Structure formats: structure tokens, C-alpha cells
Amino acid sequence: MADSAAVTRVLFEDFTPSTVRLFYVIGYSAIAAFLYGVYVQVRKYRRGVPAGMPLNLLPRLESMLVSLLNHRMIRRRDHAAGEAHRLIFYGFVLLFLGTATITLDYDILGPLFGVHFWHGEFYLWFSLVLDIAGLMLAGGLLYMMYRRGWLKPPKLDYARPDRAPSDPDYDRSGYRREDWAFLWTLLTIAATGYVLEALRLVWLASRPEVWDTRWWSPVGAALAQAFRALGMSEAGAGEWRRNLWWFHGLLALLFIALIPYTKVKHIFTAAGSLMFRDPQAAQRLPREKPDAPRPGSQYITDFTWKQLLSLDACTKCGRCHEACPARAVGAPLSPRDVILSLREFANRTLASPALPAQAELDVHGKGPGQVAMETLWSCRTCMACVEVCPVAIEHVPIIVQLRRKLVEDGDMDPQLRKTLQTIHKTGNSFGESKRKRAAWTKTLGFPVKDARKEPVDVLWFVGDYASFDPRNQKVTAGFATLLRDAGVDFGILYDGESNAGNDVRRVGEEGLYEVLAEANIGALSGASFNSIVTTDPHSYNTIRNEYPDFGGSYRIEHYTTLLLELMQQGSLAVRHKLNLRVTFHDPCHLGRFNKGYEAPRDILKILGCELIEMGRCRSNSFCCGAGGGRIWIPDPVGADKPAQNRMREAAAIEGLQVFVVSCPKDLTMFEDALKTSGLEGRFVVRELIELVREAA
Amino acid sequence: MKILVAVKQVAALDEDFEIRADGKDVEAEFLLRDLNEWDDFSLEEAMRIKEAATSPVEVVVVCVGPESADESIRKCLAKGADRAVRVWDDAIEGSDPIAIAQLIAAVAKRERPDLLFAGVQSSDHSFASTGIAAAALLDWPHAAVLTQLTYTPGARTARFRRELEGGLLHEMEIDCPAVLTIQLGINTPRYASLRAIKQAAAKPIEVLTLADLSVPPGAVGEGGSLSRVRRMYVPERGRAQMIEGSVEEQALQLAAIIREATGGAA
């Protein structure tokens, strides 16, 4: 082999000093444009309010790097696109590191210390790795082009369900053009890189240290062979190379310069968003700051810097759009569009040197970039969007904070307004007297302890629906009987219990939520118990995740966990197996919110049921439509409802006998939807408690 | 420009209530307190005039009631009323609407508003007379059951509409100051968020006694009232009986009941 120092890539050979200088001027200009763009973006984010969370930079950096490197989030529910992105990502990272290596050798270590390492064996491995990286990049890009151009998944259609086709914001063809420009630019850079490599090989074919080592750049070498076979001369290759070198270099520098101004910035913003993710974003909503000038988010400057950063992280991938139950039934909401609207709004108002007048910062309304009331009220806060977002955008707290402003102004459905007033007045959403909260116990035939008066082992927080809804009262009584039969020492708070507030908070009535949470924490602190159990996943979520912020930290279980424990201990016997073909609906607040996926399934197994999963199960469970206060807002007449959509999904299971739920609101929503979707008689909806009772 | 809005904290019945031992009212612990529904609308009407005005308009809420009424008053303050006056003295207990109207008229004399609004009636006692009686005591013109109102602050008259029987509308004009009683549905009352209600705690509620208003104790309470409650009771209800059994059995039972009720003629 030739002298190691000679085995390298020529950089500026046969360039005049002035053209080299020109290249550096252009290069530094590109970097300057990049830095200025970054400055403008950072200035934009800094116009938000503090995020009010500990920074914990190191652990956050670590978890962000793990997410980036394993690509788990991007592969979810779109495996092929995830793998293609992984190829692009690793290809790009390697190529970037490659260029950085050259800079380190040629521009830093060489001039400063006279040290060069980019030659010899290292160089050869470097060429091979970069050639493979280029293939990965190009392969990923080609798949993405195939996907956009031929597969055309519906989620990549950016037409907005909440705007009329005549609206200028309706189809957003600008985004599509940008997507294609991004793909073509990167692909062109990669392709011209290979051609340049081939031309260099042909041009310098007379140098053994170049030509003999050519197969360390296999793609370039193959192309070079082809060029020579087509009769390209060494001089001709040199001439071609000079021109293409500038084209390739300028395009690459343009790409770098444009990063902060285009979708390419997701390289940084997505990483930033992932880094500052809040794993409890939807489960534990942010408190209102007592000194806040107004509730929630009215102006774009009311958003936290982290929220503004995450708006820029969105890559329009459409996973949230696909998962959203409101969007699925044609409601004017797509979580992606909320994010994109706000991003466009922030870019229009916060990117200029001076902040516009406050009136122009109002994000509520129907203008460009604004978010309409109807959109915000369509949300079920089911967390499907937050769960699936590969770049950790937290839609639910954003939507709830926008709703807080609507609630303050009374901009809500009259029925919802009435319900909130009723809850304030009576402590429950049924408008029933507090005294009647425990009326269901009268049918039991045995007394239920008043946990305010005597100590109990397990305090049962019953919740509104389980207490007052006549259909659910039967289940509630059934659960009481199961507890008694299993010998559990339990009690309830009677009229000391109020609505837990989970949904009131998600409506955006933070003040009322505080009243309810404080009332319940007050009642709980007056009782003596070891742990709490509830049949209501909504109460479960807020007591478990949100009451601690108000000074109430408790050990709380959803009933499925407790029942499973009792069954496994043998305290609760299964006398006859049920032999039913069932499917299970994961309640949002039990499953996605609190990862309670297994206990109900384990119980079904013990009961002898054959569980057939629906396509959308576990973390991809489909909301019943009741969350976020939507149970108090009438659905538009004639429109499809998420619960009906779910019933049709279940009906596709052959021989399905029982649709099993484990949430009082689910029971109400799905029994209703079974009738209205015309599927009554095909199967029945049952609470898991009812099945356990049947088997006992 | 000032609008005085008379409001009342009314009582609603809780489940399974009991009548007080003296038989004249429901036992207090079975009553749920809230702002009278009509007053939501009259306050909203005042707020709309205030918000549409180019010159300052003060909306003052007046309420005759004990300290527990502050909760309802605070809702009015949360919705934007500038301040509130609450009149109370133990001697007021047992007053009839005319006696209450005296107190409201006395506050109106102190406040000298351009308009005095009241709800058409209260949802608990339904006398529908407090507002009108106050007008008589003040010797101001009055109009009842308004379903639409147009008033520009500073104007000498107010225009309004009332609904008459047979689908007729009555459009009228009245000289100010005047007393107007407001009907449900005249507007859509706003929502008072809990945040606003909490913030309203900082707004003043001025408490006035009989002495402050120079009303002698003898003019109010049962003694000062010209009408008195004799008795409050739940009338005997007709009984309903569930018929159970198979269709044949039910039909037989039903036939027997009809026969009995019609004296065996059927």
C-alpha cells in the first residue's frame, strides 16, 4: 500500500487560493445564517413564560438520547416509516460526523497543532462507513418518497377537518411542497456526493493510493467503473468534478443555513421537546399560578417556552390525527392542526424583533393560526395524542389551558355551564342532594361503614357516576357485596364525598376543581384508612396524580387491582368458569393514563373468559367519548359518536358475547351506543364487576 | 350613572325535607341556598348596559338577608357588579315582601340610582311584589315583566318590551328613575367562574342595619308586616299502586280496580 499520509481524500487540490477563500466565505455565511436563525427561534421561545419545572438537565439528556437512538416512538404504529426514518437519522448523523471529522482534521487540529489523522487505514474505514451511511440515507429518503407519492397514507393529507375548503388555511399545500423539497434536497446532496466521489476516482485514477483503494468507497467505485466504461477521461472527470463540487457544496451549505427556517429544524426542536417531556403531562395538569394575570392561555405569550418549543417539534406525522377520537367522528378537531395553528401563530407574531400589540397575540378565534372554541370543546382529553406523539408534544395540557380562558369567559355549551354550576352547588354532576350520595347502600341488606366515624382498612371513593346513575348503582352494589364476601374491611365517606374533579379540571374550570379537591382532601383527612380503592378511573387518576399537588397523598388502587389480589389470595372464589367470548375496552384513565392494562385481563383469564382483543387496545384504546367533560356536552344530533365507532369495531369480532368495561362512564356510554348504533342483540356491555359476581 | 340591582338568596328544597316544628316553614337544614334565578337575568341586564356604555356606569347590588347571603352576593360581584350592599338585622326575620321593599327603597334613597332592577319574582316564595312595592314606596314609575330593554346611560327615558297574552308585544317608554322587574330569558346570564368568585371576595360588601337606614324595628319583621304565614305543608297526594304479575293477572286486577272505582257498572 502507498504511503499512509497519501491515502486520503483531496480537498482543495487545484483550487486557486481565492476560490478556497470564496468557499470559506460562503461556508461562514451559511453558518452565520444558521446561527441567526437559531437566535430568532430562541428569542421566540424566550417570549413564553417559565415552564415551572425542574431542569434536571443530565437525566433529561440521557432519556432524550435513548429515545433518539432507539427510535421506539417513531416506529410505533407506523413501523415502515419508523425504520425508514431510522435509516435517514443514522445515515445523516454518520455523514454529519464524517464532515465534522474532516473539519477537525483540516481546519482545527492541522492548522493549530500540525496534527493530521484523516488518512491511511482510518481514512479507508471512514470512506467505507460514510459510503454505507449515504446508502442508508438515500434508502430512507426513497422510501419516504414512495410513501408520500404512492402509498399516500390518509394521515399525510393535511387538509383540515375544522376548516371549509374555501378557507385559505384549508389544504396547506405549502407544507406538502416543503416536505418534497426537503426530501429532494437531501437526496440530491447524497446522490451528488456519490457522483463526486466517482468523478474524483476517475480524475485521480493514475494515483495508485487513490485508485487501488477505491473499493473502500464501494458506491463511488462502482460509479467510477461505469464512468470509465462510458469513456470518461481523467481530465474530463476533473472538469466535471470542479463544477459538481460547487453545486454539491453550495446545496449542502444552503441546507445548513436553512435549518432554523424550515422543517429541518425538527432535528433540534424534536430533540429539545423530547428532552423536556413531562411523563405525567396529561395525568397531572398544571396548576394555575396564583399571581397569573388571567387564567389559562389567552395570548401566545401565555404559553411556556417549553410549549412554544414543542410546537416547533411537530413533524406533521399524523399519528395524533389518526388516533384522535374526535377527529375520527368528524368533530372539528385534529390535535395536529391545533399544534400547527399555534406554531404558525407563534411564527407570525413572535419571530419579529419587536413584540406586536397584545390584541394581536390572542390565539382564540377563527382567524389564521387561531384556535376555534368548537375545536377546543371537541377534545375528550383521552390522551391518545400525547401517548403516540413521537416528539413528546403535550397536547392535552395545551388544550386544557386554552379552555381555562373559555371557561373564564363563559364560552361553553349551556349544558356544560349548568353542570358546572350544579357541581358547585351540590358537589355532584347529577344535581342530586348530597344526602342521596350513599342511597345505593340501602338496597344492600348489610351496613356499609362510615369511614368518617370508624377506622377502615380500605376506603372506597365511590365517585359520581357509581353513586347516582341508576344502572351503575347496580354495579356499585355488586362491588360492595364482593368486598364484603371477600372479608375486606371497607367504608365510604357518605355525603362527605364530592365529585373528585378529574373531569371538571379537564373542562378547564380550575377554580371549581380546587374547591372539589380541597373538599375531598378535607373529608379524607378526617377518615382513618390504609388505602383507597375506587371503581372510577377518573377519580382514580386525579386522586392518584393530582391530589398530591394539593397536599393529599394516598395509596390508591383501581378496583381491578384489588379484585385480582383478592382472587389470587383465594379470598374471592370463582365457583364456575364463564366460558364467554369477550373483548375488553381499556378506559383511558385506567390504561393510557395509569398503565393499568394487565389486572382486568388477568381477572378475565381467571374467570375463564376467552379474550379477543380489538385492534385498538391498551395504549391505543379508543375513547368512549365521555372524557374531558364531554359527557356533559350534548353531541351534535345525527353525528357519529366515538362510542358508536367503538361498538362497530367490537361487532367485527366473530361470536363476541360480552364487551367488558371497567369504568362507570364507559358502561353508560357503551350501553347507549350499542342501542343507537343498531347493534343491540349482537353482544352485551358488562362491567367486569358483574362478570366477577356471576362467576362467584 | 348608577343601576341598583335588588337580589335575593332563595331556598330550594333538599331531598326528604321536613317541616319546621311551628309548621310555618321548612326546617332550615333541608334548604339549599342559591341566588334567585330571575336575579341572574336582572344583573346581566345591568352588566350589559354597563359594558355597552361609553361613560362610567356603576352597578350596585342590594340584598336583604343574613350573612349567609354573602355567598350569593359574591357571585354577583364575580360577574362584574362594582359593589354590594347587604341589609340585615335580626328584627327583619319574618318580614313580608312589603316590609322588605321598605328596606330596598331606603337603600335606593341613599344610592339615588337611575334605574332599580328586580327580578319578576323569587323562586321560593313567588310573591312577585317586592320590586313593585319598592317603586310605590319611592314614588317612582315602574314596569313589570320586561323581556327586552334599551337604555343609554344618561338618557331620561328607558325603552322596553313586554309580552302580552295572545302573542302581543307591548313596547313602552318610561321616565327615569324607574323600577323595572326583569323576566327570565331577557338575556343569557354569564358564567361566574370559581376564580372570579374567589377574586370577588376582595370586593366590598357593605352591611347596613336598620339604624343605618333609619327604619324603626317595628316597621319590619312579623310585627311590621301586613301579611303573615299561617302554615306551610305538603298536601296529601293521590296514591299510585303498581300492578304486578303476568299479563293476565295484571288485566284481572286492573278490571277489578275499574269495577270498584265505577261502582261495579263496568
pLDDT in tens, A309-355: 999 999 999 999 999 999 999 999 999 999 999 999 999 999 999 99
Amino acid at residue number B261: A
**What is the b/e burial string over A400-409, where b = at least 16 CB atoms within 10 angstroms of the residue's CB?**
bbbbbbbbbe
Condensed to tens digits (0 to 9), the pLDDT of residues A267-292 reads 999 999 999 999 999 999 999 988 88
How high is the pLDDT of residue B265? 58
Tell me whether B199 touches chain A (CB under 8 Å): no
CA distance A43 to A35: 12
| Contact across the interface for B197 and A511, Cβ inside 8 Å | yes
**What is the b/e burial string over A553-577, where b = at least 16 CB atoms within 10 angstroms of the residue's CB?**
ebebbbbbbbbbebbeeeebebeee
Write out chain B residues lying below 8 Å of A510, CB-based. 194-195
Nearest to A425 among B16, B32, B191 (CB): B32
Listed in sequence order, the DSSP H helices in chain B are 37-52, 70-78, 97-111, 130-138, 194-200, 221-224, 247-261
Condensed to tens digits (0 to 9), the pLDDT of residues B207-243 reads 999 999 999 999 999 999 988 889 999 888 777 778 8
| Contact across the interface for A288 and B195, Cβ inside 8 Å | yes
The superfamily (CATH) of domain A298-414 is: Alpha-helical ferredoxin (1.10.1060.10)
Domain boundaries, chain B: 2-224, 239-266
CB pairs under 8 A between A and B: 44
CA distance B152 to B135: 21
Residue A238 confidence class, pLDDT cut points 50, 70, 90:
very high
The mean pLDDT value of chain A amounts to 95
How high is the pLDDT of residue A439? 95
CB B85 within 8 A of CB B31: no
| Contact across the interface for A295 and B195, Cβ inside 8 Å | yes
A370-384, B5-19, B148-162: segment of lowest average pLDDT? B5-19
Overall average pLDDT of the A386-415 stretch: 97
* Residue in chain A nearest B189 by alpha carbon: A410
What long-range pairs does A498-501 form, CB within 8 A, spacing at least 24?
A498/A427, A498/A428, A498/A523, A499/A423, A499/A427, A499/A428, A499/A429, A499/A463, A499/A464, A500/A461, A500/A463, A500/A464, A500/A536, A500/A538, A500/A539, A500/A542, A500/A543, A501/A542
Write out chain B residues lying below 8 Å of A435, CB-based. 14-16
Q: Is the pLDDT of residue B264 over 80?
A: no
How high is the pLDDT of residue A170? 85
Residue with cell 341589609: B87
Query: Grid coordinates representing A649?
Result: 369495531
CA distance B107 to chain A (A): 30
CA distance A269 to chain B (A): 35
Tell me whether B240 touches chain A (CB under 8 Å): no
What percent of chain A has pLDDT above 70? 100
Torsion angle in degrees (nearest 10) through CA of A666, A672, A675, A676: -110
Q: How many helices (H) and strands (E) does chain A have?
A: 29, 9
Condensed to tens digits (0 to 9), the pLDDT of residues B101-112 reads 999 999 999 999
Q: Which of the four CATH numbers 2.70.50, 2.40.160, 3.30.200, 1.20.950 does domain A4-46+77-261 have?
A: 1.20.950
**Residues whose CB is less than 8 angstroms from the CB of residue B3 and which lie 6 or more positions away in sequence, other chains included:** B46, B49, B50, B57, B58, B59, B60, B113, B114, B115, B116, B117
Tell me whether B201 touches chain A (CB under 8 Å): no
pTM: 0.92
Angle between helices A120-146 and A79-103 (to 10 degrees): 150
Write out chain A residues lying below 8 Å of B16, CB-based. 433, 435
CATH architecture assignment, domain A429-566: 3-Layer(aba) Sandwich (3.40)
What long-range pairs does B234-237 form, CB within 8 A, spacing at least 24?
B234/B19
Overall average pLDDT of the A409-429 stretch: 95
CA distance A675 to A644: 9
| Contact across the interface for B14 and A410, Cβ inside 8 Å | no
DSSP state for residue A364 in the 8-state scheme: B
Q: Is the pLDDT of residue A543 over 50?
A: yes
Residue B260 confidence class, pLDDT cut points 50, 70, 90:
confident
Least Cα distance to B160 among B175, B169, B171 occurs for B171
Angle between helices A305-313 and A266-275 (to 10 degrees): 130
Neighbours of A50 (CB within 10 A): 9
* Residue in chain A nearest B197 by alpha carbon: A511
Residue A1 confidence class, pLDDT cut points 50, 70, 90:
very low
Q: What's phi and psi for A333, nearest 5 deg?
A: -140, 130
| Contact across the interface for B14 and A435, Cβ inside 8 Å | yes
Q: What's phi and psi for A5, nearest 5 deg?
A: -65, -25
CA distance B53 to B38: 23
* Residue in chain A nearest B31 by alpha carbon: A433
| Contact across the interface for A295 and B197, Cβ inside 8 Å | no
Tell me whether B15 touches chain A (CB under 8 Å): yes
Overall average pLDDT of the A407-425 stretch: 95
Query: Grid coordinates representing A591?
Result: 390504561
Overall average pLDDT of the A394-402 stretch: 98
How many residues does this entry show for chain B? 266
**Angle made by CA atoms A358, A363, A368, in degrees to the nearest 5:** 110
Tell me whether B184 touches chain A (CB under 8 Å): no
Tell me whether A602 touches chain B (CB under 8 Å): no
CA distance B18 to B31: 10
Nearest to B195 among A420, A432, A511 (CB): A511
Q: Is the pLDDT of residue A215 over 70?
A: yes
Query: Grid coordinates representing A664?
Result: 362507570
> Which of B51, B195, B199 should be substituted to probe chain A, the one whose Cβ sees the most A Cβ atoms within 10 Å?
B195
How high is the pLDDT of residue A289? 87
Domain boundaries, chain A: 4-46+77-261, 298-414, 429-566, 574-695
**Angle made by CA atoms B59, B64, B67, in degrees to the nearest 5:** 100
CB A409 within 8 A of CB A418: no
CA distance A523 to chain B (A): 20
CA distance A536 to A518: 19
CA distance B163 to A669: 42
How high is the pLDDT of residue B202? 87
CB B58 within 8 A of CB B82: yes
**Residues whose CB is less than 8 angstroms from the CB of residue A644 and which lie 6 or more positions away in sequence, other chains included:** A329, A673, A676, A677
What is the edge-to-edge ordering of all strands in the sheet holding B83-87? B169-175, B157-163, B142-150, B178-182, B115-119, B2-7, B58-64, B83-87, B205-208
Tell me whether B196 touches chain A (CB under 8 Å): yes
| Contact across the interface for B198 and A511, Cβ inside 8 Å | yes
How high is the pLDDT of residue B15? 77
The superfamily (CATH) of domain B2-224 is: HUPs (3.40.50.620)
Helix (H, G, I), strand (E, B), or coil: what is residue B46? helix
DSSP state for residue A577 in the 8-state scheme: -
CA distance A608 to A586: 19
Least Cα distance to A599 among A662, A536, A668 occurs for A662
Same fold, A429-566 and A574-695: yes
Least Cα distance to A323 among A524, A623, A525 occurs for A623
Condensed to tens digits (0 to 9), the pLDDT of residues B135-157 reads 999 999 999 999 999 999 989 99
pLDDT top residue among B161 and B17: B161
CATH architecture assignment, domain A574-695: 3-Layer(aba) Sandwich (3.40)
Overall average pLDDT of the A492-512 stretch: 98
How high is the pLDDT of residue A637? 87
Sign of the dihedral through C-alpha A144, A146, A152, A157: positive
Half-sphere exposure of A656 (CA within 13 A, CB side): 26
Write out chain B residues lying below 8 Å of A295, CB-based. 193, 195
CA distance B266 to B258: 7
How many residues does this entry show for chain A? 696
Half-sphere exposure of B63 (CA within 13 A, CB side): 31
Peptide bond into A664 cis (omega under 30): no
How far from A377 is each of A288, A400, B200, CA to CA, in Å? 20, 10, 27
Tell me whether A442 touches chain B (CB under 8 Å): no
In the 3-class helix/strand/coil scheme, how is B48-65 assigned residue by residue?
HHHHHCCCCCEEEEEEEC
CB A343 within 8 A of CB A301: no
Burial class (CB in 10 A: 0-12, 13-18, 19+), B157: middle
CA distance A512 to chain B (A): 5
**Angle made by CA atoms A484, A485, A489, in degrees to the nearest 5:** 35
Considering A167-171, A213-217, B254-258, the range whose residues carry the highest mean pLDDT is A213-217
CA distance B119 to B128: 8
